[in-house]
Amino acid sequence: MPEETQQAIEWALQQEYEIESDLVKVSEVFEYMPFTVVDKVREYFNENNIEYSTFSYDDLIPYLKDMGLLN
Amino acid sequence: MADITQMAARSGKLIRSDNTIVNEADGINDDGSRRVQLTGSIVRNNVVTIANSVAITTTGYKTFSLIDAGLTQDEIRRYKNFKISVFDTHNQPATLEIYTTNLSLAPNGSPATGALIYKSDQDITNGNNYLAYCSGQGGTGASIKVIPSLRDIHSNISVRLNFSVAPTSGSITIKVEMQE
């Protein structure tokens, strides 16, 4: 994962995600809707021209644990 | 009010249709409660995530399977009915294929080897895609695809995607519900 991954997660968690016309806060739903944080992390990488390869929510879990957001 | 001490005791003996004699009172505990024996079996269910919000960045085949998710062939063979749920947000279309393993060809249960049980190049489009693949019952919505062979025995089930253009956003989540 890129070294900017933690910043990307921090940014992603502050975003809102549109699901079927409803806006939900990523920080409130990412544990049961992991695609919300994954898609926003990817968006951060794209907007900041950060190179990355295929990744999944499983790759973000260690960062989320280090940040105290998951047990 | 009736005085129970003045009432005659009723025999607990009964005759079955095959002429055997049984004592109904044998089914009563010392405290007067009925002795009950439950019969039946436990139907087990399981939900396995085979693609945990995977953000795909390349073209070509990408395969997700129950064995890759950590199940063994023996564990998979316990289940007789499967439902596959897909949520895809990639910004490119993909071909989606579902395979069962042909054990004669791939004894180790290798995914995407053997029998193709479903293929579509229209399911995964650009944008949000909610899809479910089930064995038949209740499969009436446009996003629900009926695959009768999902009600069968399998040693592995795999889902294979093929993007001809690399997606630059989005991800895919695939979960498999299984019932014994």
Q: How far apart are the first and last CA of chain A?
A: 21
**Does A43 sit within 8 Å of B169, measured CB to CB?**
yes
Q: What is the pLDDT of residue B170?
A: 96
Q: What is the pLDDT of residue B9?
A: 65
Instruction: Kindly list the residues from chain A whose CB atom is less than 8 angstroms away from the CB atom of residue B87.
Output: 35
Q: Is it the case that residue B143 has pLDDT exceeding 90?
A: no
Position with higher pLDDT, B143 vs B84: B84
Mean pLDDT of B71-96: 94
Question: How many angstroms separate the CA of residue A39 from the nearest CA in chain B?
Answer: 5
| Domain boundaries, position A62 | 5-66
**Does B169 sit within 8 Å of A39, measured CB to CB?**
yes
pLDDT tens digits along A26-41: 999 999 999 999 999 9
Q: What is the pLDDT of residue B28?
A: 77
Using 50, 70 and 90 to split pLDDT, how confident is the model at A10? very high
Q: What is the pLDDT of residue A5?
A: 97
Neighbours of A20 (CB within 10 A): 7
**Does B54 sit within 8 Å of A56, measured CB to CB?**
yes
Mean per-residue pLDDT of chain A: 95
* The model scores a pTM over 0.90: no
Q: Is it the case that residue B138 has pLDDT exceeding 70?
A: no
Q: Which residues of B62-100 are buried (b: 16+ CB within 10 A; e: fewer)?
A: bbbbbbeeebebeebeebebbbbbbbbbbebbbbbbbbb
pLDDT tens digits along B104-125: 877 777 766 678 999 998 888 8
Would you say residue A71 lies in a domain?
no
Cβ neighbours of residue B168 closer than 8 Å, sequence gap 6 or more: A46, B57, B91, B92
Per-domain residue ranges of chain B:
45-179
B45-179 is a CATH 2.60.120.380 domain: yes
Q: Is it the case that residue A53 has pLDDT exceeding 90?
A: yes
Question: How many angstroms separate the CA of residue A18 from the nearest CA in chain B?
Answer: 10
- Smallest Cβ–Cβ distance between A35 and the set B58, B62, B87 belongs to B87
Element housing A38 (H / E): helix A34-47
Q: Does A64 touch chain B (CB under 8 A)?
A: no
d(CA A43, CA A14): 13
CB A17 within 8 A of CB B169: no
CB B100 within 8 A of CB B89: no
Would you say residue A32 lies in a domain?
yes
| Closest CA in chain B for residue A20 | B128
d(CA B2, CA A60): 75
**Does A53 sit within 8 Å of B57, measured CB to CB?**
yes
CB B97 within 8 A of CB B118: yes
Q: What is the pLDDT of residue B2?
A: 66
pLDDT tens digits along B52-73: 999 999 999 999 999 999 999 9
d(CA B48, CA B94): 23
**CA dist list (Å): A63 to A38, A40, B67:** 12, 15, 26
3-class DSSP state for residue A68? coil
Q: What is the pLDDT of residue B158?
A: 94
Q: What is the pLDDT of residue B32?
A: 76
CB B77 within 8 A of CB B117: no
Q: What is the pLDDT of residue B23?
A: 79
Query: Total domain count for chain A?
Result: 1
Beta partners for B45?
Answer: B179
Instruction: Kindly list the residues from chain A whose CB atom is less than 8 angstroms away from the CB atom of residue B53.
Output: 34-35, 37-39, 56-57
**Which residue type does B5 have?**
T
Strands B94-101 and B157-163: antiparallel
Q: Is it the case that residue B46 has pLDDT exceeding 70?
A: yes
Q: What is the DSSP letter of B152?
A: S
Strands B129-134 and B144-146: parallel
Q: Does A59 touch chain B (CB under 8 A)?
A: no
ipTM: 0.95
